[in-house]
């Protein structure tokens, strides 16, 4: 294990159940609006070089959660570069209560991704570049695909957050309601669903994320070692920003605006984001399509071996074969 762990710097959490992938390098970079973000890069493993996977996470997630998946990418000949979004993981938190998810506007995630591309990917990582995004990171990736066709060759998205089921209003209506609360000065107050609560050993039964107890508990062990990485429920401001972005993804123009080839995987038993909305978007896209993974819960990369096998089979068909 060659991880750079500086006690005064952006250290990676190391626990026995979650080994650091070979060759890890970790550091900080800054966005144009002066937010400091933690990042890590990992060289390719065996085989001919195939480029770099830019891995972007979901809400509340952090670099260490993806160590196993990063090693899987390395074994396929990919280098990997990843970072913690603003407001979570080891990156700068944005409000006084550091355990709450907050962002001023969803477009700030585009600022993070663009800065990462220019500051880390281009100078330090071998091309070509492929974007892999999960949940909230999947929605941010889709918006990136509407803005810069040249950043990435292809995008592979796991359970992208394009809509939420069970809401009393449309995505646009929910955005307006949350924005109204924000205008009343309530934007930094917490709000959310039961599934937004932090994971614990007791919360595995019936959880919406994964059927795999070992992978579920592994994330808990990382957070026990590094509680500063944890994020709980979102704020009203985050909710308003997310619903506004999801409303944008539902417009007639959005599917045609995504100019990077994309494959979206929907989880058959997803209770976090709307798999039906992912299917609908996939059918409407010119440069994209979708696949349903039966029996899967929300976190496809953290699921049991059978479901992860299906996820990586789709990845290999869409990304690995293209890179070769």
Q: Does residue 122 fall inside a structural domain?
A: yes
Segment 132-155 shows an average pLDDT of 97
CA separation for the pair 103, 178 (Å, rounded) = 13
CA separation for the pair 253, 110 (Å, rounded) = 19
Q: Find the CATH number of the domain harbouring 252.
A: 3.40.50.1820
Question: What domain range includes position 58?
Answer: 25-323
Q: Does residue 13 fall inside a structural domain?
A: no
Q: Does residue 19 fall inside a structural domain?
A: no
Q: What is the pLDDT of residue 4?
A: 39
Q: Does residue 286 fall inside a structural domain?
A: yes
pLDDT classification of 11: cutoffs 50, 70, 90: confident
11: tokens are 């250290």
Segment 87-102 shows an average pLDDT of 97
Q: Does residue 11 fall inside a structural domain?
A: no
Q: Does residue 8 fall inside a structural domain?
A: no
Segment 13-19 shows an average pLDDT of 95
Q: Does residue 288 fall inside a structural domain?
A: yes
Q: What is the pLDDT of residue 7?
A: 43
Q: What is the pLDDT of residue 193?
A: 60
Segment 142-160 shows an average pLDDT of 97
Q: Does residue 2 fall inside a structural domain?
A: no
Q: Which residue has the tokens 């696949």?
A: 291
The domain tally of the chain equals: 1
Residue 85, CA distances (Å) to 153, 238, 259 in order: 22, 13, 23
């Amino acid at each position: 294990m060659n991880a750079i762990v500086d006690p005064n710097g952006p250290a990676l959490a190391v626990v026995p159940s979650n080994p650091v992938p070979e060759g890890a390098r970790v550091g900080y970079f800054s966005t144009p609006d002066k937010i400091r973000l933690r990042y890590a890069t990992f060289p390719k493993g065996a085989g001919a070089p195939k480029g770099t996977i830019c891995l972007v996470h979901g809400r509340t997630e952090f670099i260490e959660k993806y160590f196993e998946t990063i090693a899987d990418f390395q074994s396929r000949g990919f280098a990997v570069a990843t970072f913690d979004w603003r407001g979570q993981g080891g990156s700068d938190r944005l409000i006084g209560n550091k355990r709450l998810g907050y962002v001023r506007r969803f477009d700030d995630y585009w600022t993070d991704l663009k800065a990462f591309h220019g500051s880390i990917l281009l100078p330090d990582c071998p091309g070509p570049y492929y974007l892999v995004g999960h949940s909230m990171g999947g929605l941010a990736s889709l918006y990136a695909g509407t803005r810069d066709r040249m950043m990435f060759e292809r995008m592979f998205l796991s359970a992208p957050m394009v809509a939420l089921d069970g809401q009393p209003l449309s995505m646009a209506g929910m955005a307006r309601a949350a924005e109204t609360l924000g205008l009343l000065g309530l934007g930094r107050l917490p709000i959310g669903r039961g599934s937004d609560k932090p994971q614990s050993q007791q919360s595995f039964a019936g959880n919406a994320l994964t059927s795999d107890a070992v992978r579920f508990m592994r994330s808990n062990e990382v957070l026990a070692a590094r509680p500063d990485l944890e994020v709980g429920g979102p704020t009203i401001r985050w909710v308003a920003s997310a619903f506004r972005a999801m409303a944008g993804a539902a417009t007639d123009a959005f599917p045609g605006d995504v100019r990077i080839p994309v494959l979206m995987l929907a989880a058959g038993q997803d209770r976090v984001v709307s798999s039906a909305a992912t299917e609908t978007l996939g059918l409407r896209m010119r440069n994209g399509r979708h696949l349903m993974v039966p029996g899967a819960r929300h976190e496809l990369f953290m699921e049991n071996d059978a479901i992860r096998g299906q996820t990586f089979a789709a990845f290999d068909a869409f990304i690995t074969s293209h890179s070769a």
